[in-house]
Amino acid sequence: MRAVIERAEKTDPRINAFTERLFDEALEQARHAEDRYLGRGGLQPRPLEGIPVATKEKHAIKGRSLTEGSLVNEGIIAAENAPAADRVIEAGGIIHARTLTPEFSATTFTHSRMWGITRTPGNPEFTRGGSSGGPGASLAAGTSLLASASDIGGSTRIPAAFTGSVGFKAPYGRNPGMGVLATDHYRGVGPMARTVDDVIAFQNALSGPHPGDPNTIHPKLTLLAAYEDVSGMRLALYVRLGEYDVHPEREANTRETPRALADAGAVVEEITLPWTRDDLLTAVAGHFSTIFGAMLVELTEEHRDLLSPTRSFSRS
C-alpha cells in the first residue's frame, strides 16, 4: 500500500485520475490485512485481502461525495454504499482512492468542468477514453491494482483498450447495480485491472445476487480461472461490425487473436452480418434518448448553465 501511495503522489498530479484520496484510511486497513495474512486473531485472508482498489466516483460510498463529475450535483453526499463498493469491502479489498469520470459518465473522453482533464500516463497528449478514464489511467500509471468500472456503450472497454489495461463488461445480471440504471439491460458494472487473471478474481468478487438489485442472477455465476484447450472450438470472426471503417493497423492487430486461436486448434470462420451503421445508430439513439437522455434531462432541467460544454451524451 505504501508503494502504491508513493507512486500516486508522484504521478497523479500529472495524470489527474483521482477525485478523492483515502490514503490514511487505506494504510490502517492494510495493517489489518497484514494481520490476517500473518494469522493473527484467527481470521483468514479474503479473496481481495489488502489489494488497493480504486473505485469509480459514481460507485457511491456512504458519507462521501456523489457528484458524478457534475457541478449540478456539487455538495451531494451518498446515503449508502453502492453494491460494487460493498463487494470490494466484503472481499477484503481496500478502497484507497476514487476515480474521475466525465460528467454523468456520458462521454468517451474523461474531462469535466468539475474535475478537469484526466491524461494518459504514457503520453499526456493522447486521450485515455471514457467514461472509466480515471480507472484506466490509474491502472496504467500503477497507482491502483484493481479498479471498478461501468459500461453501457463502451465505458469500460474503450479506456481499457486506450491504456493497455484489461476491462470486462459483465453480462447483464451478473453484477449488482443501484437506482434507475440497475434496470437498464445495456448497463454492466465490472472490473478493470492490469492482467486477465486479476480481472477474473475481481469479477468473481463483484458478482452474485443482491437484495437491492432484483435483476441479479441467482445463484452466483463465476468465471473460471483455467479452461480446457480450444481444439475443435468453432469461432466466428467479424471485424467491421457492419460497414464501419477499421484502420489497417487495428485490423492487423485484431486478426492476431483468431490466428493464434486457429494455430491452437480452433476452427475460425470469417462471417458477415446485414448490419449498417444507420441500423446501429438508430438502436443506440433509441436507447440513450428514451432511458439515459431522459434521466439526464430531468436531473439537469434547472441547471443547464452548470453543465460541461459537451455536445451530446453518448456513453455511460
CA-CA-CA-CA torsion for 223, 252, 154, 64, nearest 10 degrees? 70
How far, in Å, CA of 271 to CA of 41, rounded? 58
Query: Catalytic residue among 112, 131, 138, 314, which?
Result: 131
Amino acid, single-letter form, for residue 92: G
Going along 68-158, which residue ranges are E strands? 94-99, 111-112, 116-117, 146-151
Told to judge if 169 belongs to the known catalytic residues of this protein, a careful annotator would answer: no
* Coil, helix or strand at residue 112: strand
Told to judge if 155 belongs to the known catalytic residues of this protein, a careful annotator would answer: yes
Beta bridge partners of 52: 94
Told to judge if 56 belongs to the known catalytic residues of this protein, a careful annotator would answer: yes
* H or E segment and range at residue 37: helix 23-37
Largest CA distance in the chain: 62
Instruction: Characterize the bridge pairing of strands 146-151 and 188-193.
Output: antiparallel
Query: Catalytic residue among 56, 70, 112, 308, which?
Result: 56
Query: Catalytic residue among 105, 155, 207, 308, which?
Result: 155
Q: Which residues are catalytic?
A: 56, 131, 155
